[in-house]
């Protein structure tokens, strides 16, 4: 028990500095990029729309670890040397943007047809229509799904381990290797994940109920 308390601060520090930070940045990126993907496909922008669909499909079907390696090794070849955390955030953000795009699409499809017709009747500009009528309703309806993906992503941040980002699991295993005691650090890492994701999942279920649909 004493040992567990000794290593706890370092694991928590890695959690706050890398795991949480990466989750926050990547979900922000995914939220914005996913919306862009969804709108491009919905508005049927020529050329871009089919390309986006193909890209989304490809990214969704391929593993995050390989995508991480790909960017991690290929960006420097292109002359961009970026810190691991940055590559990790971009990879996770783009990967989840492809899931978000589908969620947004469902939300946009869920906006009643009368709302669109009313916008036309009031001769709103397309920009005004999206910004003030369609998206506020669409995004509100899919908030729980988006939240659930944030939780999924949170549990996939340890993948950044693969490109040497010292996030929580990396730290736990490093401590284990140093002291030859894996039980406590790895268990602590697992419990921290559980402690953070379980309440958030329940909060999302509540929100889902409050918004009154599945």
DSSP state string for 115-179: HHHHHHHTT--HHHHIIIIIHHHHHHHHHHHHHHHHHHHHHHGGGGGGGT---HHHHHHHHHHHH
Q: Nearest approach, Cβ of 127 to other proteins (angstroms)?
A: 27
| H or E stretch at 26 | helix 21-43
Least distance in angstroms from the C-beta of 155 to other proteins: 4
- Considering beta carbons, is residue 140 or 205 the nearer one to other proteins? 205
Q: Choose between 3 and 70: whose C-beta lies nearer to other proteins.
A: 70
Q: Which is nearer to other proteins, 136 or 177 (CB)?
A: 177
CB neighbourhood size of 118 (10 A): 13
Nearer to other proteins, 119 or 146 (CB): 146
Chain contacts with other proteins (rule: CB under 8 A): 53, 56-58, 60-67, 69-70, 73-74, 77, 99, 102-103, 106, 145, 148-152, 155-159, 161-162, 169, 172-173, 176, 182-183, 186-187, 189-191, 193-194, 197-198, 201, 204
CA torsion through residues 160, 161, 165, 171, sign: positive
């Amino acid at each position: 028990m004493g040992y567990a308390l000794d290593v706890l601060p370092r694991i928590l520090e890695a959690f706050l500095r890398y795991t949480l930070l990466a989750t926050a940045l990547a979900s922000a990126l995914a939220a914005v990029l996913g919306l862009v993907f969804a709108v491009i496909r919905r508005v049927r922008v020529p050329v871009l729309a089919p390309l986006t669909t193909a890209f989304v499909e490809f990214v969704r079907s391929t593993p995050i670890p390989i995508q991480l390696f790909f960017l991690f090794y290929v960006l420097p070849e292109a002359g961009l040397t970026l810190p691991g955390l940055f590559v990790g955030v971009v990879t996770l953000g783009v990967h989840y943007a492809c899931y978000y795009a589908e969620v947004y699409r469902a939300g946009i499809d869920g906006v009643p047809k009368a709302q669109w017709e009313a916008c036309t009747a009031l001769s709103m500009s397309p920009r005004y229509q999206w910004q003030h009528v369609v998206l506020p309703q669409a995004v509100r309806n899919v908030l729980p799904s988006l939240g659930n993906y944030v939780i999924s992503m949170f549990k996939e941040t340890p993948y950044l381990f693969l490109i040497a980002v010292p996030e929580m699991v990396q730290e736990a295993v490093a401590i284990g290797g140093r002291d030859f005691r894996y039980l406590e650090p790895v268990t602590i890492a697992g419990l921290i994940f559980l402690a953070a994701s379980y309440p958030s999942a329940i909060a999302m279920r509540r929100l889902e109920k409050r918004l009154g649909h599945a």
